């Protein structure tokens, strides 16, 4: 049945989501497919680029448009930047990332100052302070959609919406019982690791590895973000996980202002 459905929908991916339902006559079953996944991926990237742009802290390419082309291709058009491997501007990237991560906290301070001034408040600020963890839209890690539903505490967001989906994937793909058991134990310990720590949501790049940073003559550039409001060390952890700076292939002859996916 699933093969027939895959052919009829023209999708290579047909993965049960686990949501089922049944009426008197028919049975319902939900599937993830690859239809529209490039669009979803690019829309998440555009929302991320726009959010980072608004902070005016670190340079990102300006997104222009997501375009649907015949043949089921989707294109993200964005500002072209003359990217080179990050080299002489790496220290400045560190400073600007700190500015990005502190931006929301500074909005909170500004909001408090303005609240104490009669007649002023958050309504007059262009970017508003965000007091939760999440993002207003789905972003993707590769093609993998990431749930960004708003949570009031970091541990819930991190455990349920970042680690748990990865553990579900492991279980689905390899049935690794040991990983499941270790995760069950670790999950109980996570809250104690954050005891007494105040975590103000930071706007994050969200996929900050060496392949997503570069520079031009004027300074550092970050691109291909999957942003959300989270713990600032999430960005540092990803950067540390891939602890090397990949040579940036931006100087190749491929026009780099568009990215195509289907």
Ligand X SMILES: Nc1ncnc2c1ncn2[C@@H]1O[C@H](COP(=O)(O)OP(=O)(O)OP(=O)(O)O)[C@@H](O)[C@H]1O
Q: Which is nearer to ligand X, 96 or 104 (CB)?
A: 96
**Which of the 8 DSSP states describes residue 250?**
G
Binding mask 26-65 for ligand X (x = CB under 6 A): -----------------------------------x----
Cα separations in angstroms, 148 against 44, 108, 116, 133, 164: 11, 21, 32, 8, 13
Query: How many CB atoms sit inside 10 A of residue 238's CB?
Result: 18
- Which residue's structure tokens are 């555009």? 46
Contacts of 117 (CB under 8 A, 6+ apart): none
Residue 187 or 258 having the CB closest to ligand X: 258
Task: Report the nearest approach of ligand X to the CB of residue 152 (Å).
Answer: 31
3-state helix, strand, coil in the chain (%, to 5): 40, 20, 35
Catalytic residue list contains 207: yes
Distance CA 110, CA 27 (A): 54
Who contacts 154 (Cβ-Cβ below 8 Å, separation ≥6)?
133, 194, 199, 201, 230, 231
The distance of closest approach from Cβ of residue 43 to ligand X in the complex, given in angstroms and rounded to an integer, is 14
Q: Least separation, in Å, of the C-beta of 13 and ligand X?
A: 17
Of these, 242, 257, 260, 262, which contacts ligand X (CB under 6 A)? 257
The answer to whether residue 256 forms part of the interface with ligand X (CB under 6 A) is yes
Tell me if 248 contacts ligand X by CB under 6 A. yes
Instruction: Name residues contacting ligand X, limited to 65-124 (CB under 6 A).
Output: 78-81, 83
Nearer to ligand X, 68 or 79 (CB): 79
Helix (DSSP H) and strand (DSSP E) numbers for the chain:
7, 11
Min dist CB 87 to ligand X, Å, is 14
Give me the least distance between CB of 246 and ligand X, in Å please: 8
220 three-class SS: strand
Binding flag, residue 230, ligand X (CB under 6 A): no
The catalytically annotated residue of 207, 217, 224, 235 is 207
Q: Which of 134, 201, 225, 250 binds ligand X (CB under 6 A)?
A: 250
Burial class (CB in 10 A: 0-12, 13-18, 19+), 74: buried
Size of the site for ligand X (CB under 6 A): 16
Residues forming the active site: 207
Task: By CB under 6 A, name the binding residues for ligand X.
Answer: 61, 78-81, 83, 211-212, 223-224, 248-250, 256-257, 259
């Amino acid at each position: 049945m699933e093969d027939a459905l895959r052919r009829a929908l023209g999708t290579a991916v047909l993965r049960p989501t686990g949501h089922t339902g049944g009426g008197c006559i028919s049975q319902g079953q939900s599937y993830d497919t690859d239809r529209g996944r490039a669009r979803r991926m690019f829309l998440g990237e555009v929302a991320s680029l726009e959010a980072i742009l608004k902070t005016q802290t670190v340079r990102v390419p300006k997104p222009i448009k997501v375009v649907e082309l015949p043949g089921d291709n989707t294109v993200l058009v964005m500002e072209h930047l003359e990217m080179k491997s990050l080299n002489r501007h790496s220290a400045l990237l560190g400073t600007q990332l700190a500015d990005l991560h502190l931006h929301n906290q500074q909005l909170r301070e500004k909001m408090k100052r303005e609240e104490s001034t009669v007649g002023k408040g958050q309504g007059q600020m262009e970017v508003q302070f965000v007091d939760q963890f999440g993002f207003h839209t789905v972003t993707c890690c590769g093609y993998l959609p990431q749930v960004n539903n708003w949570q009031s505490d970091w541990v819930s967001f991190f455990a349920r919406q970042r680690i748990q989906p990865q553990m579900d994937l492991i279980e689905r793909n390899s049935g690794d019982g040991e990983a499941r058991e270790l995760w069950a134990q670790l999950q109980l310990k996570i809250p104690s690791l954050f005891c007494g720590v105040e975590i103000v949501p930071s706007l994050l790049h969200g996929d900050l590895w060496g392949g997503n940073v570069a520079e031009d003559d004027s300074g550092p550039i970050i691109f291909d973000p999957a942003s959300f409001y989270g713990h600032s060390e999430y960005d540092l952890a990803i950067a540390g996980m891939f602890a090397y700076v990949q040579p940036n292939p931006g100087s190749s002859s491929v026009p780099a202002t568009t990215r195509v996916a289907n």
